[in-house]
């Protein structure tokens, strides 16, 4: 497992800072995947998960799955039979 600078712990970030950090990670994700080292990608992934989990903990209603985006919802839109 890689170790590196983790930044401020997610639970200590203000809401605006948490969102800004998440947006920045999403913006740098592709570059880290394609051009970074394995360790850099692992650290990036760990930080992203830490921030996402904190965001979901603070805002559970905003992170609930949209029923239309589930497999059942997709099949219903396509008029396909639902799994039983």
- Of residues 18 and 79, more confidence is placed in 18
Which residue in this structure is represented by tokens 């948490």? 18
Per-residue model confidence (pLDDT) at position 47: 97
pLDDT tens digits, 61-75 = 888 888 888 888 888
More confident call, 24 vs 76: 24
DSSP 8-54: S-GGGS-HHHHHHHHHHHHHHHHHHHHHS-HHHHHHHHHHHHHHHHH
| 36-to-7, 66, 74 alpha-carbon distances in Å | 18, 33, 35
* Cα 24 → chain centroid: 12
Would you kindly state where each structural domain of the chain is located, as residue ranges? 13-77
């Amino acid at each position: 497992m890689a170790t590196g600078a983790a930044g401020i712990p997610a639970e200590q970030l203000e809401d605006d800072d948490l969102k800004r950090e998440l947006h920045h990670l999403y913006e740098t994700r592709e570059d880290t995947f394609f051009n970074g080292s394995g360790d850099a990608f692992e650290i990036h992934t760990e930080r992203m998960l830490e921030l996402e989990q904190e965001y979901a903990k603070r805002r559970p209603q905003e992170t609930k799955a949209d029923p239309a985006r589930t497999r059942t919802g997709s099949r219903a839109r396509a008029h396909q039979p639902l799994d039983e």
